Structures are given as C-alpha cells and as structure tokens.
A and B are shown apart, each in its own frame.
Chain A
Amino acid sequence: MTRINGFNLGVYAFLLTIALSIVLGATAYAGKQQLTAFVIGVPTITLLVFLFLAEVTPRLIKLTGAFGVSEDDAPQAAEDDAGASPGGMETGSWRRIGIVYGWLLLYFAMTFVFGFYIAIPVFMVLFLTIESRLIPVFAVGVMAAAGLPLYIIFRLVLDIPLWPGILPRIIPGVIGGGIVPQLN
C-alpha cells in the first residue's frame, strides 16, 4: 500500500496558498485588473487541487492520469531518506538537507547582524572547519586566500557597497556606525 507523502502535500498546500491569495486578492481590484489573475489562477488552482487529491487518495492518481499525473510519482513519493525524488534529484538524508539549509540560515543571520565584512570570514572558517573538516589553520589560510580576492574584486574594483550589518544602526558608533543624530 502506498503511503501518503506529507512533504508533497506541504508543497501543494504552499503553492495553493499563493495561488488562492492572489486569485482571492484580485477581487479587491476593479474590472480588468482581475482578469489575468482569474484566467491563469483558476486553472492553476484546479491543477493543484487535483495533485493534492491524488496524493491523499492514491486511487485518484488513475483518474488524474489524464492530467499527466503519473503513477510513478506515488511509490517515489513515499520515500523518506532514500535520496531520490520524482524530479530525479539525488540528495542526502533529510538530516543532511536540514544541516546544509541551517548553514545558509546561519550565514544570513550573521550577515544581517554583523554585515558582510565580518560574516564572510567567520562563515568560511566555520564551514570549512566543521562541514569540510579542514584543520582550523588551513581553513583560515583558505579563507584568507579566497577572501582577499573577493574583497579586492567586489569592494575595490567593482566598488559594491556591502551591507554593514544591523548593529551599527541600533548601536550608534559601533563598528563604523554613524554617531550623528538624525535630522528631525
């Protein structure tokens, strides 16, 4: 018996929420402004509902066959950590996926709080030491070897002003933050 794949259901529900928000939101706008949302949104919602129902009731996969929903999706959809997906994507376990996404979130959080200049070297050393298992001295060396060209290219050559972090905004005078009071 095929198990229902909660992950797929979550993705369908997320996409349905977006589509429904826009189609229902369109009713607040006048006349022709609604049209595209309805013309595109209604078939999209119909397809997503079919996909959702086919996932919940595997027998419906047969009925939705005419819409291109393949039976092949069902057994694959039931996999948890096998590392394959209907799209043919080979990934690690859910735990590994969570860890990697956690690294991205950590990098964003560090960038948001401390800015790019601090977040980049710290993230690189942490990632190379913990995830890539380089010895710390070597990780610092790689960070310096790669970080310096990045700084030269983006700051000195391309002159891209990078986000300094939220700290200077909330604590005036810290890490280059402005100490001039706001004009009222």
Chain B
Amino acid sequence: MFEAFLDGLAGMGNPAVIGAIVLGTVLGVLFGVIPGLGSVIAMTLILPFTFGWDPIIAMYVFAGIIGTASTGGGVPAILLNTPGTIANVCTTFDGFPMTRRGEGGRAIGLAATASALGTLFSIIVLAALLPLAEVMLRAFTPPDFFWLIILGLIAVTFASRQNMAKGLAAGGVGILIALIGFSPVFGVRRYTLGSEYLWDGIEIVPLVIGFFALSELIVYTSRGGSIARDANVNLGGFRQIMRGAVEVFQYKAILLRGSVIGTVIGAIPGAGGAVANFLSYSTAKQASKTPELFGTGYPGGVVASESSNDAKDGGILLPTLTFGIPGNGEMVILMGAFVLHGIQPGRDLLVNRLDIVWAIILGVIAAQVLTTIIILGGGAWLARISLVPVKYIAPFVAILSFIGVYAVRSNIWDVALAVFAALVGFSMRRAGFPLITMVIGFVLGQLAEEKFTQSLQISGGGYSIFFTRPVSIVLLLGIVFMLGWSMYKAAKKNPAPQRAEP
C-alpha cells in the first residue's frame, strides 16, 4: 500500500498527470460555478473522450472534477446567492449576507480554505480505512455481494427522499436493461430482439449522456434565462480574501465537526453532500453559544457548510472503491469510467490496481489545492460565469455530448440512443423517478446476476444460501429496516381513510 502511494506521488511529476489534474480541476470549477450543471455533467461529458487514454490519466481527470465542483459551487452561493451545486445551499445563508456587507472576499477565503481542509481530512480518513476495507472484503461471499447491491440501490432511493416505489422500480428497470446483450456469465446473447446493435448490450456512455447531460439541457434551456441574476460580485480586495483564508482556524471546532459529518455522511450511499451540508450547518448552529448569529453573515456558518460538502468526497469514495457501490451521481459516472477502462472495483482494485486508487486519492488532493488557489485568485471573475444565459451554453453541451458519444465506438446509432435516452430521462424525472437509481441498477446489473448465479453454484441450486450467512443476514436486516422505515413514514404521511359516518 505504502509503495503504491510513493509510486503515485512520484508519478505526479509526469506532465500528462499534471495536465489531467489541471483539466479536471478547470472543468470541475467551471461546471461547479455554473448553477444547474455541476460535477455529474462535467464527468459525463468528459467520460467518452477518456476512452483509449491511460486509465491512470483518466482517473486523475475524474478526481480533479470530483474534488472541485462543490468548492467552485461555493463562489456563486456567496457572491450571487445562487448555490452552484445543491451541496452549497447552506453557504448562501451566511455567505451572501457577508457579500452584502461588503465582505464577499472574506467569505470566499473562508470557503476555499474550509473546503480544502475538509477534503484533506476526509481523504486521510479514506486512505487510513482502505487497508481495513480490504480485510473486510475477504469476509464477503457472492450472496453477500448480491444483497449489498440490492442494499445499495435501496439506500440510494431511501436517502434521495423521493418516492420509494418509483426509486426501486427505476433501479429494477436499470438492472433488467443491463441484462440485454452478451452475458459473460452464460456466454450467450439475450433480449436483443434480433438487433445486431444490441449484441453488446446498451452502452453506458450514450445512456448517461442522454440521462444527465442532454435531459438537463432540456430542463434549463426550456426554462431559459440565466440561472444567477444578481451581479453583485464586489469582493472587497485580495487582502480581505486572505484574511478569510486565515480566519478559518478561529473556527476549529466547526471545521472539525463539519469534516467528520461530511466524511461519515458521504460514506452512506445516497446521502451525499446536500445531507452533509444541512446536517453540519444545523449541528454547528445547535452547538454554538451564539446560534442567533447564524444566517446573518456569520463566518462560522460558511465554514460549517463548505467543510462538510467537500469532506464528503473521501467518504463517498469508500463504498465505491471497496464494494463497487456508487453512492451518488459522481460515483455512478466514476463506475462507468471503471467499466470503460476495464477496471473492476472491490478486492481486485485494492490488491492489484492500487495505482488507480492512489491516482484518485492524490488527484482529489492536488485538484483541491489547485482549486483553492484558483478561487482565492479569481473568485469574482468565476462568479460572472454564472451570469451567462443558458441559451448560449446549450449548443456547446449538445455538440460535446454528440461528439463524445460517437467517439467511444464510432457508431452513429449511439448518438441516436443518447437522444432517445434524453427523452426517457427527462420524462422519468418529470414523472418523479430518480434517475440515479436506474443508472446504478444498470451499472450493477451484470454484477448482480453474476453474484446471484455464483451463489447458486456454490449452494448447488439451494436458495437458503441467501439467508444463512452472517454478513447476508446483517445486510438483509438493513434492507428490511430501510423498507420498513419508509413504509412507516409513508403510512404516517398518508393515514388510512376515515370511514364516513352514516
């Protein structure tokens, strides 16, 4: 493990690695700063172009985006009262009042440093836990993995706080779609309807570009206007920015609490940055001796918000790298990148491809440092990007999406599939289905079938193997708890109809 770390560190001097980190960071910051775009779309758009690259270089690009988008999203939250990503919402509570007081630069300094320290904390925790995770993985057998995949799907649906039935149904459809095409388990082609196009199954790239980039394009272009409307970007000078950067250390307890909350919440599939953000902010407020200051432009509020939403990066990588269970949209696309580059998350990754693991970890740290410098130096300029009307952004997103989809297999029908997926994705979102569960189901579908079949081979065809192993029982209890809890909450929300009096 330590040798791989040193190798990774030495590799960071490679110009291609430096270029990849810079590319990922610039993309992450730009897409983070523009509200409504965010890291998932940035990763989706760059995903197809990494095909054919050295996987390590590709991972540095993705790490760059993962480590920076929510930091970039803090800039419009502070200066324009418009959070760049959903994980920056609480930053507006105190960041924007500071800007109105003429202390925007101070708030930017606070946010950038808190983000960097939060990320650093969570990445150290991740690096410390990886050897333990590898030991833990040895205890997992195929039936355990099968239940883990189901648990991951349910956890994401549960945490997304959208309709449970719709989330599970979307996840189920995702798994079913993944069965189309060649099955490595059985060595046959299935559900192809006689179409040669479906022999290799449905490609991940057109699906995610259609679902995320193009369906989002429909959303923001149909709405029109620019997302941020207030052009107050007065920072108050570089001296003020540096004052904020140093001032973070006056809020050590809030910073540490936010970092711990972000890391822990991030590790729970589906919970993500937004939950961490609100929990950290509300906890900091409750623990404060002066809670009345929160929401009035209190620097501690900015620290609580920004430390937590970036600390989730280390936490959220843990289930993805160790178990192959992606906890949010970013991780789904990262899993897609693993698929594209022939990387198998889990034990194989932790034992044989530690170079990939360290590329991601070191990439996140390097990108975070670079982002902090960019934001401290050019926060006001970045905020102005948010004011660009979406009608000017849309054609570029469409063009990049089409080229990206085509580039992977040089198949024009993949582009047609992406356009169709955009319609399906938009319709599903409009009808209240969480797309992320469908894509997680799709990404994990083949693995679910493989583990299911392996389990039956081990047991000689008996189904009891799914209910008798200790780890399986624990995971099953988790599934039962989550389903039971959501039913209980739904029953409380929708009380049984009262019989009318005669």
Contact = CB atoms under 8 A, between A and B. Distances in A.
B428 interface: yes
A120 B398 CA distance: 10
Contacts of A105: 419
Interface in A13-37: 14-15, 18-19, 21-23, 25-26, 29, 32-33, 35-37
B176 A37 contact: yes
A83 interface: yes
Given A92-B224, A127-B395, A101 B422 contact: yes
Nearest to A40: B175
A137 interface: no
Interface in B404-449: 406-407, 410, 412, 415-416, 419, 422-424, 426-434, 448-449
B493 interface: yes
B191 A108 contact: no
Contacts of B391: 131-133
A116 B402 contact: yes
A50 B165 contact: yes
Contact of A123 (B218, B395, B433): B395
A91 B163 CA distance: 20
B494 A132 contact: no
Given A44-B169, A70-B163, A37 B419 contact: no
Contacts of A90: 219, 223
Contacts of A154: 403, 407
B478 to A, nearest CB: 17
Nearest to A108: B419
Interface in B462-502: 486-487, 490-491, 493-494, 496-497
Contacts, number: 225
B213 to A, nearest CB: 11
A11 to B, nearest CB: 4
A61 B422 contact: no
Chain B at the A interface: mostly helix, strand, loop or mixed? helix
B402 A108 contact: yes
Nearest to A35: B452
Size range of the chain B interface in the assembly: 35 or more
Contacts of A89: 219, 429-430
B165 A15 contact: no
B128 interface: no
A68 B410 CA distance: 43
Given A44-B176, A86-B163, A101-B423, A67 B490 contact: yes
Interface in B193-229: 214, 217-219, 221-224
Contacts of B135: none
Nearest to B218: A100
Interface string A66-88: 11111101000100000101110
B282 interface: no
B151 to A, nearest CB: 14
Contacts of B496: 62
Given A62-B497, A154-B403, A40 B448 contact: yes
Given A11-B427, A59-B497, A93-B222, A66 B490 contact: yes
Contacts of A61: 494
Interface of A: 7-8, 10-12, 14-15, 18-19, 21-23, 25-26, 29, 32-33, 35-37, 39-41, 43-44, 47-48, 50-51, 59, 61-62, 64-71, 73, 77, 83, 85-87, 89-93, 96-97, 99-101, 103-105, 107-108, 111-112, 116, 120, 123-124, 127-128, 131-133, 142, 146, 150, 154, 158, 160-163
Given A25-B190, A104-B218, A104-B419, 9 more contacts: A7-B430, A33-B183, A39-B452, A40-B448, A66-B491, A68-B487, A69-B165, A91-B223, A142-B392
- The 3 A-B residue pairs whose C-beta atoms are closest, nearest first, are A68-B164, A44-B172, A86-B432
